[in-house]
Structure 1
């Protein structure tokens, strides 16, 4: 696919030159066609590393296959006079930008909002939808808009350059800084401002007058700051010299084009007009397209910066059943443990020898222990707990006690069964079926497995739901004593797979939830565990477990 994108970029360059030779096309329209035919395939190429997830990769493949036909439709619409036929061709490009937007959203919901440099890239693809929409409005020559036709066209080009190329380059700079261990104060502010900048400027233009000038001043100031740090670190950084040179030249061009934006906005607000729209198209537009975007894309292509981690390669269970069926259990399916050995999770960050022997026995001989749980719902979630209790009771999964003023203990019974690996799709899957001892109702039906990533083994726990599955990917850690922590919380550098995910069919999204399970041995030798769950950073519930050996153990 990478080779195909290179070929498509070269083909796009050839087609763009042919369009310029054959047709009498205006400057602004030619810059839009340049983006369709050349910049978009290059942008897909330099940002596409690490797309291991089946759904996202297939979506990526479709965007590649449709890029040239869609770019041709958009370009044909630009060589025609505005009207119905031109608008119909432009719809082809709009449909493609919707596909790019879905691609960006899919990356975002699978990975979550961090790391921020990847969100910049996601946002760039999502923004193209607005560019496609404004293009259609212009090519249909829609009347009654509060802007003249040329402003509508310039807005379309704005969302194909400032809102597309700028966030991508800023995201790639974030990757470069991470890969070269560069920590820069203010980078987060710059990234958020670059991503929000197009909408801030759009809001300023809507209000007009001094508000427009202030929005431009803010945006230009941020881009000056971005350009200076880019030039500085390209001068002293690592990687291809020619690549760094191109990125540095690109940033110098950005300083020039942003200065023109400031002068144009100043003239509109305070007068006299220092630059006209044709002047801006010639100097600002050409400078952005060739000096900033094209030279920058060549530079980042040569630097070839990879994302900090492979975020899209998490094994997801295929199981959707919440009952034990002879067709999917494995032979004599009864097993006694959740994991074969805690030693399997040894890594640079986890030493199993530091874990108390009683905790090791619990995980390696689980059925010889019984659990008594007390569920505590925290303020803000208590009113919802009764509805939650009813729904989860109906589906037979995650069926926790509702909020009670006088909290009650709930003893759980359970069995562990091996699942056929070919049905689940993960390594050594085994289901821990926990029930309420008094009512026999299912509380949890969790299928345990594990997977390895970056020299680290994660617990991979699937909770089948109706036509979907929730997956908890838990990192294994030591605590300060001799206890054990299982957590889905992200690391400080946002690497790793830990998180809670929901998969509907083949579409996986990261949920705004985190859980941690802390099991320890008290000074009296008693085994206890605390299971905390947060939603959007707010604690919603805590389950405290008392863990007892069976009497015959």
Structure 2
């Protein structure tokens, strides 16, 4: 991190703290409302700034945060005015900007790295706290008392936002199966609490238990985790442990609400639950991570995207008269330890082979496949059969202009069944900074482009190779819309196996959100 950024960051920290001190000295409301103000003005912006320090939207967020924090300060130091809803609305807008950054991070990275996903969901949850705050300031009827409305806003600032942020940071330090269980419970808990408050007191009770289970797993994981500094680990444990303690009061409160035990008053809840969250969990938690802030493991892909998009139907511009014989010029560029000659020959002389395919949809996705079959016929792209009958797939390879596509030696493989186009993919090779080569496959779609970055591995014992989208940060399936990258929740794996010196078998598996939805079997013969 640059020295200039460090200086600006600490200046912003001082601004946030000074604005909170102004709120404390000139506060016009009940003292306990400062618990929420502390989170809004100090805790949330400080930890958010640490996380998004290199994000492209950070300059805009800084402006929004200063205006949002100023608005909360104005609400704190003035009595009720006609501008209260305006100030609360500005704060809500600031939390929405934060959520947009979380959404952008989530879409660009995809569903890999659970610790980063938990942080993204913290950002996305924050505007819910902003909406409850807006309702509290505006005295909007929510079906709950004003104090419950205010406490719900506190919940989404502390137990939703800050807890998820801290959980994500723990995962950056060390990640195990226990951590993944904890992160799953904690990530889903805010939704269950919101549903429980709205639907059923019994469900609210179970949602608090959901929180406690997740925090218990997280605490256990932290005990076995090595931190850069020992006292940082003690601070993190104290912070998470104090939240477990304060949520235990919430559990007793929820138990009393369903008719068991002694009812706990709101004043007692504020005294123990609120102050513990504010100082022991929130403040100590922030200080613990400022000791040593972990960096994310995810490295953003650096591959060159294809500039070719489609229309209705998809038409790929080709260089007339230029027909490469294969999908790659030299398959040895992938530096495989052992690759059967027939597989190498297939990729270098693809046009000399015949393909027979059998498409099998998962029955759960078959209704969607039927709908997509009707739509894709107009696109002439990804127009896969909906029956599993074995059919010959004919094809032609043509060159595509590098100036139009933007990648090295692009060539399109157009495939058809019974003369009807089903697939148009533009193949190229991408080499990363470490000298590792990947298949870069582009599928032009109407006004956008879908790309698969696939790594190639040899499977020595089976005389086969594996081509996958799930090996490292570079690989994946992406959608580009006007230059903006979205990582799709798709994964694909090819297993290509030698049968003999003249034939191959291949299986193409595709999953969405980890669920298998499509398998294509290929029989490949040399003509």
TM > 0.5? yes
Label 1:70 to 1:538 Cα distance change in 2 as closer, same or farther (>3 A): same
SS in 1 for 2:144: coil
Q: 1:22 aligns with which of 5, 19, 26?
A: 26
Q: Separation in 2 of the partners of 1:115 and 1:172?
A: 12
Q: Separation in 1 of the partners of 2:382 and 2:212?
A: 51
Q: Separation in 1 of the partners of 2:380 and 2:110?
A: 28
The aligned counterpart of 1:467 is 447
1:91-490 matched pairs, under 5 angstroms: 91-143=89-141, 145-178=142-175, 183=176, 185-207=177-199, 211-230=203-222, 232-233=223-224, 237-265=226-254, 269-270=259-260, 272-274=262-264, 276-311=265-300, 313-321=302-310, 322-323=314-315, 325=317, 335-346=324-335, 352-367=336-351, 369-380=352-363, 387-400=371-384, 402-404=385-387, 406-420=389-403, 423-426=404-407, 428-436=408-416, 439=419, 441=421, 443-452=423-432, 456-479=436-459, 480-488=461-469, 490=470
Label 1:394 to 1:281 Cα distance change in 2 as closer, same or farther (>3 A): same
Q: Which moved more, 1:501-510 or 1:79-88?
A: 79-88
SS in 2 for 1:509: strand
Label 1:64 to 1:506 Cα distance change in 2 as closer, same or farther (>3 A): farther
The aligned counterpart of 1:349 is none
CA contact (8 A) 1:91 1:136 kept: yes
Q: Note the residue ranges of structure 2 that are not aligned, 5 or more in a row.
A: none
Task: For residue 514 of structure 1, report the CA deviation from its aligned partner.
Answer: 2.4
CA contact (8 A) 1:201 1:216 kept: yes
SS in 2 for 1:516: strand
Label 1:319 to 1:245 Cα distance change in 2 as closer, same or farther (>3 A): same
Give the aligned length.
516
SS in 1 for 2:450: strand
Label 1:392 to 1:370 Cα distance change in 2 as closer, same or farther (>3 A): farther
Instruction: Give CA deviations for 1:46-96 in whole Å, capped at 9, x if unaligned.
Output: 4347x6xxxxx4334422332111221233234444565211211111112
Task: For residue 191 of structure 1, report the CA deviation from its aligned partner.
Answer: 1.5
SS in 2 for 1:220: helix
Q: Separation in 2 of the partners of 1:292 and 1:209?
A: 26
Q: Note the residue ranges of structure 1 that are not aligned, 5 or more in a row.
A: 52-56, 347-351
Q: Which moved more, 1:439-448 or 1:101-110?
A: 439-448
SS in 2 for 1:164: helix
Instruction: Give CA deviations for 1:472-493 in whole Å, capped at 9, x if unaligned.
Output: 12121112322222112x35xx
Relative to the length of structure 1, the TM-score reads 0.83
Q: Which moved more, 1:306-315 or 1:378-387?
A: 378-387
SS in 1 for 2:432: strand
Q: Separation in 2 of the partners of 1:533 and 1:273?
A: 53
CA contact (8 A) 2:107 2:486 kept: yes
